[in-house]
Structure 1
Amino acid sequence: MSAHRAPLLPFAAALAGVGFLSLMDAFMKEAALMIGAYTATVLRAFIGAGLIAPVWLARRPAMPSRAVLKLHLERGVVSAFMALTFFHSLTLLPLAEAIALSFIAPLIALYLARVLLGETISSAAILASLLGFAGTLVIVGGRIGSGAFDEKAAWGVASVFVSALLYAYNFIVIRRQAQVAGPLEIATFHSGVGGLVLLTLAPFAWETPVAAVLPWLLVAGALTVAGSFAIAWAYARAEANVLVPTEYSGFVWAAAFGWLFFREPVTWPTLTGTALIVTGCWLATRPQRRAAAASV
């Protein structure tokens, strides 16, 4: 297989993973509206772990080393609150709008890489950040202009931003994790650790689930496992700068699923703001893609 064709399969796997997770978001929005974001998030995590853990254990794997376990725990904690804040935002905002705002995560990741890894922030990255900020203002401004930016929407936007900050840090962790553990192991610990972490809040936030929500959560759990597996497999076989652009396909998926499941319209401010944010992300990763191509 040629060097140019090698990334195609990981790229396709990452694209499929984003599609699985976008569909999962639609199922989780329905579940969260029925029983609350917290309870839905906890149950989804344990359902996912229950589906994937037996498959991983059936292979009689060696237990992860202390260093690898530390990575699993780190990502599990981050992912737990990343998921909780995002699913909470879905109960307050349209699906496509929440996904669009979450696209600022790659831009935040640039600055986290500067702080945590000492990487230089280029002029292109600064321009990208400005475009991303402008896109966010357009989306939020569209709500204000339509008179729909109430307290509920404000909390939704704040929840997305917290989730995006955690997801940006997740970008840094997942690449290291994928280099030292297999997809089955990663998916098992991702769901299991996340569920256990959130379970500590049960005395304060748990709501007794109704039977009608179980099919939604079962499908969401299965889609979580499929998406996590596909993305972990892809990140173990291709550089992050090659795969990050697949995240942007999530808006297309979200717009489609938001309309199919909830009849949510996609507004022009949301489309325009998304275009600005995605353009910013593309500019930010363009130098890395050129460098990667030059080294082939």
Structure 2
Amino acid sequence: MQPLRAIALKVISVVVFFAMATLIKLTSDRIPPGEAVFFRSAFSIPVIVVWLVWLGEWPRGLKTSMPMGHVWRGVIGTTSMALNFTALGLLSLPEATIIGYAAPILTVVLAAMFLGEEIRAFRISAVILGLCGVIIVMAPRLTLGGDEVGLREALGATVAFGGALFAALAQVQVRRLVATEHTAAIVFWFLTTAALLSLLTLPWGWAMPGPGLFALLVLTGLLGGTGQILLTASYRYADMSVIAPFEYASILLALVVGWLVFAEVPTLPMLVGAAIVILAGFIILWRERRLGLDRARATQGVGGQVAAPVLSPADAGRPAQDRR
């Protein structure tokens, strides 16, 4: 284990993904969400292919025994991406980011519903706490009536939560896939499916980007692919319970960049809601860590082997363990 290297890779991946989201927001007033999904997905594929060739896993790493599983993961994930990109154009950067953190919280509930994972009172309490934080952020935008700006913000909050819900569903589907599928196959076929599905939005009108805008859109894809590689690499050097807390650095980035770049001054509901969401996430991670240590001690006492650590509910690319 090399925890410092893992943490560094995780933090860099967070920064890279956040830079991608910032570019999506910068271009959102000129590029429709469907077109943004295409560029983000299509131009991530070459990065992933180069990575697989370098690892010596091309093309054997793309073999699959669950083609329809990848199709469903693609449909759900593409829907989430489109909703999240739409929300970035309707809400402030901090609000869209914080509401997006409903995804790992909702994953706990959906995994219990669809995968039969056990969830007990402690984790239920953390889930409720996290959702309360999300509601605090959303509440000022969910106004009935009002002017066009108010309706736009209400739509944005609703769309952002919808994106988080579909992201949670995608994580549940990934947990099914990792039982038999290689990580490379899951990533590659998702990007391919997303790029193809985004073409269905062509009848609703795509914009013809100029050279500068085209370069920014291509960069979103390159950043997305690079971020995925860095994130995957971080898993090799430390347990998920070590690196998962650093995911919340994106909330801090959203508050700072939103203020400096987009003149989006953080509000009290944003700050309070963000603090509650982060607290709920850390409670879940702490509980997961304790369960992992308890299992390790129990296994050592019985057979001398150390049990695998329990993973964070935010982890969409690892097998799910018994959760409480």
* Range of TM-score over shorter length: 0.7 to 0.9
1:219 is aligned to 2:219:
yes
Equivalent residue, structure 1, for 2:253: 253
Equivalent residue, structure 2, for 1:160: 160
Equivalent residue, structure 2, for 1:128: 126
Q: Counterpart of 2:49 in 1: which secondary structure?
A: helix
Instruction: Report the CA distance between 1:115 and its aligned residue.
Output: 0.8
Measure, in 2, the Cα distance between the counterparts of 1:182 and 1:143. 38
Equivalent residue, structure 1, for 2:110: 112
Measure, in 2, the Cα distance between the counterparts of 1:117 and 1:6. 32
Measure, in 1, the Cα distance between the counterparts of 2:179 and 2:249. 22
Q: CA RMSD in A?
A: 2.8
Bigger CA drift: 110-119 or 210-219? 210-219
Instruction: Report the CA distance between 1:63 and its aligned residue.
Output: 5.5
Residue identity matched to 2:81: A
Q: Counterpart of 2:60 in 1: which secondary structure?
A: coil
1:26 is aligned to 2:27:
no
Measure, in 2, the Cα distance between the counterparts of 1:211 and 1:101. 33
Classify 1:63/1:187 alpha carbon distance in 2 versus 1 (closer, same or farther; 3 Å).
Answer: closer
1:36 is aligned to 2:37:
no
Equivalent residue, structure 2, for 1:150: 150
Residue identity matched to 1:98: A
Instruction: Report the CA distance between 1:168 and its aligned residue.
Output: 1.5
Within 5 Å, give how 1:184-203 maps onto structure 2: 186-203=186-203
Measure, in 2, the Cα distance between the counterparts of 1:179 and 1:235. 18
Equivalent residue, structure 2, for 1:181: 182
Measure, in 1, the Cα distance between the counterparts of 2:271 and 2:253. 13
1:206 is aligned to 2:202:
no
Equivalent residue, structure 2, for 1:50: 46
Classify 1:125/1:214 alpha carbon distance in 2 versus 1 (closer, same or farther; 3 Å).
Answer: same
Instruction: Report the CA distance between 1:216 and its aligned residue.
Output: 1.4
Residue identity matched to 1:133: L
Bigger CA drift: 209-218 or 22-31? 209-218
Bigger CA drift: 86-95 or 223-232? 223-232
Instruction: Report the CA distance between 1:41 and its aligned residue.
Output: 1.7
Measure, in 2, the Cα distance between the counterparts of 1:194 and 1:106. 21
Structure 1 unpaired stretches of 5+? none
TM-score (norm 1): 0.85
Indicate if the aligned counterparts of 2:65 and 2:180 stay in contact, CA closer than 8 A. no
Indicate if the aligned counterparts of 1:44 and 1:217 stay in contact, CA closer than 8 A. yes
Q: Which has the higher helix share?
A: 1
Indicate if the aligned counterparts of 1:139 and 1:269 stay in contact, CA closer than 8 A. yes
Residue identity matched to 2:266: V
Measure, in 2, the Cα distance between the counterparts of 1:8 and 1:279. 23
Residue identity matched to 2:14: V
Alignment deviations for residues 171-202 of structure 1 (CA, whole Å, 9 cap, x no partner) = 3344554984255x554333222111221232
Structure ranking higher on relative contact order (CA contacts 8 Å, 6+ apart): 1
Equivalent residue, structure 1, for 2:75: 77
Equivalent residue, structure 1, for 2:303: none
Alignment deviations for residues 41-73 of structure 1 (CA, whole Å, 9 cap, x no partner) = 212211222343355357443153332655544
